[in-house]
Amino acid sequence: MRVGIGYDVHPFASGKKLILGGEIIPYQKGLSGHSDADVLIHSVIDALLGAAGEGDIGQHFPDNDERYKNISSLKLLKDTYILLKDKRIIVNNIDVSIVLEEPRLSHFIVKMKYNISKVLNISTEKINIKATTNEKMGFIGRREGIASYCVVSLTD
């Protein structure tokens, strides 16, 4: 059994689409980042890489590499899945906590879980996604950005 923890954070930016869990979320701002800035998927990737002993997202998909400019984070997740598969590592479960004041995500969680399950070839029952606020404290409370935490368990 292997366990990994992932964390990611991105600030809001005008003129961008908000993409979380591979879903476009209607909102007046998106997140700033080199790729599509999908903070949720980035935390999942970091947790998977950590549990597999494969470093972190920045080592595999550096933000100074033009190949990853505006790339879908689901593509990065797919590349991570291939790395795990090549090492004969199986994903047991994924638990994500996304922290934001707004927008509300409850209507999008099922689709986010589906997107992740499709890429990782696992059941949606092995994926849990929950959203919470930061109770109006700090940069998240001021609606300056979004953070995401993820814990995964893997078996080899």
Domain coordinates of the chain in residue numbers?
2-155
* Residue-wise pLDDT tens digits, 64-108: 999 999 999 999 999 999 999 999 999 999 999 999 999 999 999
Q: Are the C-beta atoms of residues 112 and 124 closer than 8 Å to each other?
A: no
The tokens for 105 are 């995500």
CATH top class, domain 2-155: alpha beta
**Rounded to 5 degrees, what angle do the CA atoms 70, 126, 38 make?**
15
Predicted TM-score of the model (pTM): 0.97
* Residue-wise pLDDT tens digits, 10-66: 999 999 999 999 999 999 999 999 999 999 999 999 999 999 999 999 999 999 999
Helix, coil or strand: residue 118 = helix
Residues with Cβ within 8 Å of 104's Cβ and at least 6 positions away in sequence, in order, are 131
